[in-house]
Structure 1
């Protein structure tokens, strides 16, 4: 609603707006503007937006929060009597925005003219809100802090007024009215200046005022309290009312004109004004029920309401359109409430929407069938999610929805589902085109030789095939020409297409490989090589099963270099009804094998004369060969005195395929041995005899040869060390097994030792006990003890030995001990102790 301050028929009429249950204070003074009472706000953040005259309907008490952030001065304003010297004490805050350019002022009229009222006007601000933060940091553009009682303001007159203020449309200002004392009765505020008095403009911008209006039929009070008034005459639509006081209470807000005439104590009319009460009437209309089909077009639910509803209301729950348009396809059925509001006035109406889902016949389809195709259910061709139970037209030969391309004709076939009382029938169609199938002919088998000429596969098809088709897999020719030299055997498919119709036939190609005799080959043999299959000498990939000419001695293809003659041999494979035969030639060359003789071996003494190794070879070797390793004397001459034993190879080489041949003469060398030392470890449990020799020619330890050793002249061993040698006297013999100085070397040795037992029974065998070869130690002394340590006897190297008696008494069988003490040839002490057994044997 707009604020209206305009004259009607010479009298001032005003449209009144206020919040519910708030009195409207009407001041009838000499000023040409109506003044409305407003609820006082003591903080800047809650400043009341105004676009017409206003005032307080009672005292102004306190200041809420300190809007000056502890400051005691703001422009001309000093401490306002509040705690701690704050600018505010009992404040009322307003804000307004200029709607035109020009001179602006206002008048603050205390209800009690003896009261002191001050003010501060702040601005201008570019924004209509959010300006309170600037109050404490910038001085007011106009203010009053005179300390005098009575009226004050801007531009109207008197010393208590500040100069007029020039304003520009769109500027916003904040006004703080403050009462210095804590006792006050309120004030009225009216505006003046050319921007206010010009009837062609609205001085203040009412669009920034957020006010509530009265709802139609709401109870309100009119307060016309006027200074110096004695009584009031109220009338409604020209009819005088009984009320004579300043307040007309309990009236209903309707589009009614009220008039009040104010008289002073002298019954003089001091003012007469007419007022029209502003009434806000809201009408949401009358609710209704509506049935919709899900396929219907969106519907504005507003059109369903009865009773001339107001536009501009809201619907809940919110529709997908964001407006009142209900789309049956996306919105859900249910109750939708239409609400109309104006200020605090609200009216509602409900539309109950029922949505019936329309049966779905699916989406249209366009199909193409081949005349030879299988029957198809047209229902399956429809798009979307069609429901079953529909009827097809025109009728198909099947009597159902099955289309048979061989009997039914091209055309449009419609599928229809019946409707209901709410939803109409639905239908969709399938546009069918039947295409005549082409003829690809009939299948065939083709047999061709691998070396045959190319053929056109199309000419091999049976029946009457249509031309213009394609072959797969693709042939190397890029057409239907099959080349057995480059294309592979297999199935080749001929496909011909007419629209969506096609037909296929196949040619199954079998390639018979021409017999492959390979390609000509050449081979060279040595006469000593093993028989060879000439087939393996052919080049390429020859096949088996052919015949060789001339005939070989083997009767097959086996060539024996020792029998068959060199020359050209032809290999031939027979042909078939499809492929001709083939042949190839192997040229054979035979080389004669050389003869190196046969292996032999020979043993020589280092003292033997030189020999020619060629004469040692067996067989009939060819001359002109080479000996390896090379001999010092050269030309195959072997000198035992200077050459080494080993294998000497005689090699004969020749040109051609024959490999070189060789024979080996294995030579072993020996020399007579010389005994250089005999080491004897005797008089022990294990007598050891070690024989050391060297070669008579080489003078090297153990010489060159195969030597055997013996200490008894009977048993010869290759080992030169003998263990467990019994005590006794021996002749050492060393032989060369190769016959160099055989049995030529001997040496006599003595092994000293103690017998382990004796049998003193006078049988001439072991009748006495003595150290064997004791004479090797001429100064030796031997004592014999019984087991109690009693000396049985004392022996010397040349004595006969102990006979087993002690003092003429034969001693019993048992163990006895000996102690041998002597010095050797070098003067070293030799001492031995041991035991032996006396065994009594009677025969």
Structure 2
């Protein structure tokens, strides 16, 4: 015999659940454990899987084969009795909260008579059998209900993966019917692998299939296949698939349902994953580099990696390289993407990372080519001499040499030969004082190095991609020094304040204000000044236009600006480049701008005095050593008597909400105001903050909505306060958790105290007076164990005039009891009264009635022996 489980998606509403049960016929599992653990395996707790719902016929007083009461030993918690036990166990697969619904009715589809059902849940445990029954204690009780309802809700909170839980469901009605047990809510899930499996382990497939699933099961007379729908969260039946074999070619969770001749049903599921075989998106390129030592070169395979992968996800597929076909096929001796080699073949393997046996192989060729070709082995180059330099000496600008070379006969010429396939932009060109330095690439000339007239320097032309250079043809350049103007190198930085708080590092500069400094000793009638954004602009003669330089907005802070003196009379062009920085001083702002905005709640006493010392603002001068002026609204004090408002505003009293605003001025080194600011950069609005006072309530009143002896009560707290707002408070009842709402619902009869606290931390906490509600217990068990041995009203001690009478079901008066007395012990004329339902009548003064009118209430309770 094996259980069947049925997957159901349901709304989070117990009333709707009942109607859904009427519309969707459940599938039944004709098995239930009558004891927690049975070594023979026949009557022990049955496995339960929450991915499906279970419905089973109950045990009842009309079935002589049923066990009438649960075994002795466990602590059954709230269960006063345990008639007709049904034991189940479950294991957690996904951690989280789980909510279950237990319903008992006379009909299998959830209709018919509503039959009282109860339960208790124990856990967590490491296995489903060892805890029976010594560990079924009150300490291990997770949830329990003995209510007179046909519909119970069971919760397991914060369940962890791998834990086991034991559940006992009892038929308190003892009548024949059906019990439905299923998960209805929560982000946790139970493990269905505790059920007998027939489909085997999950499978990873390379390719698109198809493959066959074989669910052949002994004694099975019916097969039904389903696939899991990730959108609906349900398994959906695959039409027409009614044999034990299913051919699949789509990734998914497949479920098989089998049924034997007795109507017993079992399900199993398996995950089939089809892994897409990798493909070579584009054939890799053959790679060519210029030769290095020994006729080899260092190759970079990364571009081929991208070509091979193409649009395929790099987290799912990877490319590795090998020097032989055999190594690639066996995935041995992989080489790095940076690989030193002569001409050879390289083999690339693209692999599905989820399934290493899923791969494809391709190959490409490595080629080694010679170094670059130069047009001449000797060149000429003319450079202008600075105005105040030693005669026949100059400063070299290395970026200009390669594009200004002359042939040995004095004509402009290109550095590269006509048969060189690459452009000059493909090479790095550097200059050295000797051939040896050029070959070894040491001590290259840099911008500003000194050269003299007639000096020879030597050129190294290096391929930017391969680092190959003209090792066998280091060309010579003979320097010719001419005269150029010299700009003043000592230029002070240009400092200004920010023009806007939204751009604290930007300002507007008139660069013409620096003309006199840049010109230096040069004749202003024969020379002009040009300004450049970058050194590259200087090199390429891309100077700022007149419109740009007279209203220049910096883009970085600081920003370097380059300048040169332009020779307007002779042919020596522009001077050496000089530079200075544009520096923007930020407008003064607080370091903690975020807190000086919006509204801040301040805890105060009833008289408006603050409960904790409070100050706003900052002393910026103490942080950076500058001098600042602070203009507060309202005016701040001048405690140091310097005639200025203090930087920090001390708040001693706050009887009502008030806004505080601030303007900050920084003084320059000359003592004069430098930059003034009133804008908060965090909000882009004026520096302003509103302080709102809040306080604890003066006292707490309350209102009870229902009259006495209601099935439950609703109590609403009514805090009284002078300062603050109602939303400042949160509420707790009988030391429970605090909540936003002042209303507490579904409270049983009893004693209550409501605590109110200020959510902003304002002290003190305030409690209501003791709140008492009248009620009565629904049952008592006069068995001499001192637990529920007598029956009386709840909180009737103060009703000294109350009259309480107890009757049997025929209306016979059995006992009159009095408030505050010992109650009824379940006897009449010294004889024990039988288990059953009894009635009572009470005449009392209604506490919730301001006029304290006399009322009569009648109800019933159960005597359980």
Larger Rg: 1
TM-score when scaled to structure 2?
0.29
What's the TM-score, normalizing by structure 1?
Answer: 0.29
